[in-house]
Structure 1
């Protein structure tokens, strides 16, 4: 027992001091971790700018390499960089640049300039994109040397891969590209219409088309490619710098034709779902890919908003087609709320989940195979649709919110097996998913879990203090296709979220 009031006073002083010291230590640790995140992002960006460029062949350029030895910062090959489970050989860009695989790298560079006020980062991104659009476009088709099967080789100064152009995601840097290389950007938009679409009457196309010459195919009109092409056409159509272009109206015709094709494909299957394509090969006419359809919906929604002041009727059709994909998604039997997964691959006739050689019917907490999807991956797409719909269609948006939170709850306790093959992209998607869920709910447990997966990923892929993340926890080189840039971008997003949380407080 305390003998007098003095004892009590000194006890309170001691207790207060310890409390303040503990609070200071906690705040100091959090500030240090936040600072370390930015340091790692800058170290990665600096290493790519200084040593990850095209220093090969007769024409050295500012392009960034998509795969590198992490210690010598040199190009590799299939002989040096071994096969990676779940990554097809034809998809790897081991000898040069593939900006579509490096979208997160460019996002990092542009955002670092905003954060640090150092113009170096945006300037170096500009240099690379200008060179790519000025030098790496097919003179015959207008298509770019990028995507799932093509890259620009540093040693041969030419396109390499399988000579098949296939878009690998919506391109988010048209503002920069039209500023840097406007004619090449415009030629690419027309090239998609002229040399990716097989029939301008029916809108039949394949996700594959020759880069080097006009050679198109039919029946593989996967919906997400429809959305991503429409996004490019809409962007090109509404730009003031393109208002006097002689073929500008062709882009509206392109949008309308492909939208009609998707509308027709929505009526073929007995289940009423939008099919993957009309080709019998690969059984695509009997397949529904819900995530593919939602990606189309996301792109359609953004494109419709752009063209609505000019083409209101077409924009309304696009919105209607997009909303139908939302309704179809919600009428599907998902098991995410019960600890299962999202249904993603369906039989077109019955609407029931189905197995296919390269696809499994449900998402998983962790998945590394080609054609497999994680809860987090799909939940991030749902979050994009939530943001698009929350004002105009709040009931649909709320349904997405419920599913997003249910998926996030599975990651509160689940952790990957570190003895199995793990790739940075899986961690990037989970970190993004946890941040998105924190923004939806305001519950700190999701932000704490984002931190957990960020630092676990750092331990797996950046433990040796090398600024470039490993291709996997079992492959000691750097390769963009496995998500190294995506993981670094997720760290930057977490850093930005810390700052947002502090300013809100």
Structure 2
């Protein structure tokens, strides 16, 4: 049996999904607390792991649903979760939840949340959009303050692929998305520093080894590292120049 292509049918399915996300993923509709984990075979949402990043994904879903349906339940869902995230930041020393409430990490900003808010603000009412942009801007400000005197990713975790960690290219990519939205130089610097970190680390390791002669392998490694550094910096710089000409 072929899938229906009728727009109304597809819109109905999308609305059902977005509504299900609100009703079965968010455990407390008053506080906006949720957990990214919820049973798939029964109703049982939790409130103990309101990751800011996931909250941003939910908000994007509801904003898209509102744009197509104009159902105000989705505005309420956005505002509830957004207020919950802001409450966590304001009442936990400026920290957002980066894991479970009981034992998870805390962080002063979440750029993925800011990206999601920037993506979805044009799809909702002007009043709610202004609130979303204000929250996103707060994350921008804190990010710039935290990284004012620091570089990109920590060199000690450049090659990690562990659960909950991962390579620094991931956070740098998110910063690049936000940079394209707002053009803040703090994001550009972070991306450039992160792009150069593997090159610096590998170059340092190569330079500390004792070679009796310049073997083909070391010459190749040095050439590849130099080319990688040049390419990464060109991509980011070119993106920046394009923004300047718009």
Report Cα offsets for 1:186-227 as digits up to 9, x if no partner: 110000011111121221211111111111111211111110
Report Cα offsets for 1:74-120 as digits up to 9, x if no partner: xxxxxxxxxxxxxxxxxxxxxxxxxxxxxxxxxxxxxxxxxxxxxxx
Tell me the secondary structure at the aligned position of residue 106 of structure 2.
strand
Greater Cα radius of gyration, structure 1 or 2 = 1
Tell me the secondary structure at the aligned position of residue 267 of structure 1.
helix
Correspondent of 1:234 among 54, 63, 67:
63
Correspondent of 1:331 among 140, 145, 162:
145
Q: CA deviation at 1:237?
A: 0.8
Q: CA deviation at 1:373?
A: 2.9
Q: Are residue 202 (structure 1) and residue 24 (structure 2) matched?
A: no
Pair 1:435–1:299, CA change in 2 (3 A): farther
Q: Which runs of 5+ in 2 are unaligned?
A: 203-228, 240-246
Report Cα offsets for 1:148-198 as digits up to 9, x if no partner: xxxxxxxxxxxxxxxxxxxxxxxxxxxx99688332221100000111111
Q: Are residue 267 (structure 1) and residue 82 (structure 2) matched?
A: no
Alpha-carbon contact 1:204-1:218 (below 8 Å) kept: yes
Query: In the aligned structure 2, how far is the partner of 1:434 from the partner of 1:274?
Result: 36
Query: In the aligned structure 2, how far is the partner of 1:200 from the partner of 1:275?
Result: 18
Correspondent of 1:379 among 142, 152, 172:
172
Correspondent of 1:301 among 102, 105, 118:
118
The structure whose residues are more often helix, as a share, is 2
Query: In the aligned structure 2, how far is the partner of 1:237 from the partner of 1:363?
Result: 43
Query: In the aligned structure 2, how far is the partner of 1:442 from the partner of 1:278?
Result: 39
Q: Which runs of 5+ in 1 are unaligned?
A: 1-60, 62-126, 135-175, 343-361, 391-396, 416-432, 444-505
Pair 1:317–1:194, CA change in 2 (3 A): same
Alpha-carbon contact 2:51-2:98 (below 8 Å) kept: yes
Query: In the aligned structure 2, how far is the partner of 1:199 from the partner of 1:182?
Result: 27
Alpha-carbon contact 2:27-2:46 (below 8 Å) kept: yes
Pair 1:276–1:411, CA change in 2 (3 A): closer
The equivalences for 1:328-477 within 5 A come to: 328-332=142-146, 337=151, 341-342=153-154, 364-390=157-183, 397-412=184-199, 437-442=233-238
Alpha-carbon contact 1:276-1:289 (below 8 Å) kept: yes
Tell me the secondary structure at the aligned position of residue 90 of structure 2.
coil
Query: In the aligned structure 1, how far is the partner of 2:61 from the partner of 2:113?
Result: 13
Alpha-carbon contact 2:31-2:80 (below 8 Å) kept: yes
Q: Show the counterpart of 2:209.
A: none
Query: In the aligned structure 2, how far is the partner of 1:177 from the partner of 1:436?
Result: 44
Query: In the aligned structure 2, how far is the partner of 1:295 from the partner of 1:177?
Result: 33
Report Cα offsets for 1:224-280 as digits up to 9, x if no partner: 1110000000011112xx34xxxx11101100111110111111223x232336722
Pair 1:369–1:434, CA change in 2 (3 A): farther
Alpha-carbon contact 1:386-1:401 (below 8 Å) kept: yes
- What do you get for the CA RMSD once the two structures are aligned? 3.4
Query: In the aligned structure 2, how far is the partner of 1:387 from the partner of 1:259?
Result: 23
TM-score normalized by structure 1?
0.39
Query: In the aligned structure 2, how far is the partner of 1:323 from the partner of 1:177?
Result: 39
Query: In the aligned structure 1, how far is the partner of 2:182 from the partner of 2:162?
Result: 32
Report Cα offsets for 1:350-402 as digits up to 9, x if no partner: xxxxxxxxxxxx87221111111322211111100000002xxxxxx112111
Alpha-carbon contact 1:336-1:407 (below 8 Å) kept: no
Query: In the aligned structure 2, how far is the partner of 1:205 from the partner of 1:260?
Result: 12
Pair 1:178–1:216, CA change in 2 (3 A): farther
Alpha-carbon contact 2:22-2:77 (below 8 Å) kept: yes
The equivalences for 1:54-453 within 5 A come to: 181-239=10-68, 242-243=69-70, 248-270=71-93, 272-276=94-98, 279-280=101-102, 283-284=103-104, 287-289=105-107, 293-307=110-124, 311-332=125-146, 337=151, 341-342=153-154, 364-390=157-183, 397-412=184-199, 437-442=233-238
